[in-house]
Each structure stands twice: as structure tokens, then as C-alpha cells.
């Protein structure tokens, strides 16, 4: 039987990862009322979609989510905020902005998207679980905005080049109770694959309810014994310090060789924004170039 802490940890990580992506079995979707006509007023319900829209056509973005990534950016200071934290978007605020396109995330904004569709507001729900999906979404949105996607696509490509040349094996840990790690069907897993990093859970499948992630035991960690470990702490709960108190932790070669790194949740696990993605690229390049 799951402990209360296990349940809370699983729910928290699930909510955070779901913002970024859902199971790879669910393709990006758009509503039946979507029009091929250009959009002039866009409300974005996720920080990534707000950022991509702003970089493609800043004058057409009229509403954004209440994200710390955006609140700290002066480019978004004068835009209407339609949500706060993990709470659902305020429909009245969204409608009041009179958007002709609302952008959200599959699995996280399904209910809101359905309501907006019912009242005739064009809604596009997307899933970003790979670099390819990010590129395709950018190109699709650029068409709707009558914008040129090439500058953004070139930034994506530049982020991945040059890739580090390293034979080190790696493992990303996104939570401790349960111990979760991304496989290749997640944004994080695809990110590592794009960098030619040998992710030891890339091809693993498990019973985790979170698409693109597998549950590991302490025994499995010791068995795969990675050269490099990246520890994510999405809720700032001191996950790395908690791992360090586990008996098995000191037996891992990554620990012995001082190849354990704290890594930002935004960029690698949740794309968040282009700046965060680029920061993740730089950090991966730095870690795996120096650890070769």
C-alpha cells in the first residue's frame, strides 16, 4: 500500500510534468472549430506557448498564464494574466480578451479547451514531448500568425549544436518517492537523445502513470549504476539531500566520482520557455563535455 508521502510526491510530480507533456500516445490536437484564417488576438495558457507566440508575433499576444517564468520577464509585464500557479485559467478573463485563438496543453487544459470550443473560440491544445513536436508546433503557429518561423527554428538548431562527445552513461531523477526517470518518449528523454547522451532509462517501460517516465527501485539504480546523475527538484524540497541520506546512494559510481548535478526543472523536464531550453542545452554541454 502506498504511503501518504508517496502519493503526495507522485501527484505533485504528475502535475508538474503534465504541464509540459503527456503520454506520447496522445498526439497534438486542435478543435473542430479551428479556422485556417490568421489569428490576431492570442491567449496562451502555458508559458512555452506564450513565449513562442511572443517571439513569432509579439503584438498578437494578449493574454498569458501566471507563470514565474513570464512574471520575471519585462516583455510580458503589460499583458493580462488569465491564471495563477496551477489553478485553471479564469474563463471570464479569457473571454473578455476576445481572442480568436487560445493555446493550451493537452491533458492540462482539456476542460477549459472544451468550454471555449462550446462558445466558439478557436482552441489549439498541443503536446511538447520532443524537439520535433516543438518544431512542428512552431511552424503551425507561425502560419496562423502570418509570421516567419525560420528565426525560431534556427535558434532551436543552434541550441543543439555542437553536441558533446561523451561515452558517459546518464540518469535523470525527477523525484524520490517514487523514484522517476524519463524514457525516450518524454521531452527530457528526447532532449538527452538529441545530445547523444546515453540515457539508461531511454528504452525502459514501466507501470508509472506518467507517460514518458518509468519508476525505479534502489536496486535498479544500483544495477544500472550510471556515470552521471542529474537530480531535478521541481518543488524545492531538497531531493538531492534526501537521496544523500539513502543507504544505497553512496554506493553509486556517480556519487563516488562526484558526477551528481542538481538540474533546473524548467528547460529539461518542462520546456517552460526558449531561454530555459537554451540554458539546459548549455548546462548539458558543459557537464558532458567536462565529464568525457
- Core vs surface per residue 28-62: b (16+ CB within 10 A) or e: bebbeeeeeeebbebbbbbbbbbbbbbbbbeebbb
> CA-to-CA distance for 26 and 173, rounded, in angstroms?
24
Task: Looking at the structure, tell me whether residues 114 and 237 fall in a common domain.
Answer: no
Residue 32 has pLDDT above 90, yes or no: no
**Least-confidence region, from 22-36, 90-104, 128-142, 183-197:** 22-36
- 56-109 tens-digit pLDDT: 999 999 999 999 999 889 999 999 999 987 788 999 999 999 999 999 999 889
Task: Looking at the structure, tell me whether residues 71 and 135 fall in a common domain.
Answer: yes
Task: Looking at the structure, tell me whether residues 27 and 145 fall in a common domain.
Answer: yes
In the structure, what pLDDT confidence band is assigned to residue 208 with cuts at 50, 70 and 90? low
Task: Looking at the structure, tell me whether residues 22 and 120 fall in a common domain.
Answer: yes
Handedness of CA 62, 68, 69, 72 (dihedral sign): positive
Residue 114 has pLDDT above 50, yes or no: yes
In the structure, what pLDDT confidence band is assigned to residue 28 with cuts at 50, 70 and 90? very low
Domain assignment of residue 182, yes or no: yes
Summarize the confidence of residues 147-156 as an average pLDDT.
97
Task: Looking at the structure, tell me whether residues 155 and 198 fall in a common domain.
Answer: no
> What confidence score (pLDDT) does residue 166 get?
86
Residue 94 near residue 71 (C-beta atoms within 8 A) = no
Mean pLDDT of the chain: 87
Task: Looking at the structure, tell me whether residues 150 and 192 fall in a common domain.
Answer: no
> CA-to-CA distance for 53 and 47, rounded, in angstroms?
10
Give the structural domain span for 69: 18-159
> What confidence score (pLDDT) does residue 37 get?
65
Task: Looking at the structure, tell me whether residues 25 and 154 fall in a common domain.
Answer: yes
Residue whose grid cell is 563535455 = 289
What is the number of domains present in the chain? 2
Q: What share of the chain in percent tops pLDDT 70?
A: 85
- 214-258 tens-digit pLDDT: 999 999 999 999 999 999 998 788 999 999 999 999 999 999 999
Summarize the confidence of residues 134-150 as an average pLDDT.
97
Q: What is the CATH number of the domain that holds 214?
A: 3.40.50.1980
Q: Which residue has the higher pLDDT, 13 or 208?
A: 208
Residue 128 near residue 49 (C-beta atoms within 8 A) = no
C-alpha distances (whole Å) from 117 to each of 26, 112, 172, 197 are 19, 9, 38, 41
Q: Which residue has the higher pLDDT, 71 or 208?
A: 71
Q: Which residue has the higher pLDDT, 87 or 277?
A: 277
Residue 199 has pLDDT above 70, yes or no: yes
Domain assignment of residue 88, yes or no: yes
Task: Looking at the structure, tell me whether residues 22 and 154 fall in a common domain.
Answer: yes
- Burial class of residue 151, CB neighbours in 10 A (0-12, 13-18, 19+): exposed
> What confidence score (pLDDT) does residue 237 get?
83
pTM value is 0.86
> What confidence score (pLDDT) does residue 147 get?
97
Highest mean pLDDT among 72-81, 150-159, 200-209: 150-159
- 157-193 tens-digit pLDDT: 999 999 888 899 999 999 998 999 999 999 999 999 9
Q: HEC states along 198-257?
A: EECCCCCCCCCCCCCEEEECHHHHHHHCCCEEEEECCCCCCHHHHHHCCCCHHHCHHHHC
Task: Looking at the structure, tell me whether residues 155 and 28 fall in a common domain.
Answer: yes
Task: Looking at the structure, tell me whether residues 100 and 223 fall in a common domain.
Answer: no
Summarize the confidence of residues 28-45 as an average pLDDT.
66
Amino acid at each position: 500500500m502506498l504511503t501518504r508521502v508517496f502519493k503526495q510526491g507522485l501527484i505533485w510530480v504528475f502535475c508538474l510534468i503534465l504541464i509540459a507533456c503527456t503520454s506520447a500516445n496522445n498526439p497534438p490536437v486542435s478543435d473542430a472549430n479551428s479556422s485556417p484564417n490568421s489569428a490576431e488576438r492570442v491567449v496562451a495558457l502555458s508559458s512555452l506557448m506564450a513565449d513562442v507566440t511572443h517571439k513569432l508575433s509579439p503584438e498578437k499576444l494578449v493574454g498569458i498564464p501566471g507563470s514565474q517564468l513570464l512574471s520575471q520577464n519585462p516583455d510580458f509585464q503589460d499583458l493580462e494574466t488569465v491564471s495563477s500557479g496551477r489553478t485553471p485559467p479564469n474563463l471570464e478573463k479569457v473571454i473578455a480578451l476576445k481572442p480568436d485563438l487560445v493555446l493550451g496543453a493537452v491533458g492540462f487544459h482539456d476542460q477549459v479547451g472544451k468550454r471555449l470550443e462550446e462558445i466558439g473560440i478557436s482552441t489549439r491544445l498541443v503536446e511538447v514531448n520532443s524537439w520535433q513536436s516543438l518544431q512542428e508546433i512552431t511552424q503551425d503557429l507561425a502560419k496562423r500568425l502570418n509570421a516567419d518561423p525560420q528565426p525560431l527554428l534556427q535558434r532551436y538548431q543552434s541550441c543543439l549544436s555542437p553536441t558533446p562527445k561523451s561515452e558517459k552513461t546518464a540518469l535523470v531523477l525527477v523525484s524520490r518517492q517514487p523514484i522517476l526517470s524519463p524514457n525516450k518518449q518524454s521531452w527530457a528523454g528526447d532532449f538527452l537523445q538529441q545530445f547523444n547522451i546515453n540515457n539508461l532509462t531511454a528504452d525502459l517501460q514501466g507501470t508509472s502513470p506518467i507517460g514518458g517516465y518509468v519508476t525505479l527501485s534502489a536496486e535498479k539504480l544500483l544495477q544500472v549504476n550510471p556515470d552521471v546523475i542529474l537530480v531535478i527538484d521541481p518543488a524545492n524540497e531538497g531531493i538531492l539531500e534526501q537521496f544523500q541520506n539513502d543507504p544505497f546512494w553512496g554506493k553509486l559510481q556517480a556519487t563516488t566520482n562526484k558526477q551528481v548535478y542538481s538540474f533546473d526543472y524548467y528547460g529539461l523536464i518542462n520546456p517552460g520557455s526558449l531561454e530555459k531550453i537554451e540554458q539546459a542545452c548549455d548546462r548539458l554541454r558543459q557537464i558532458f563535455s567536462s565529464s568525457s
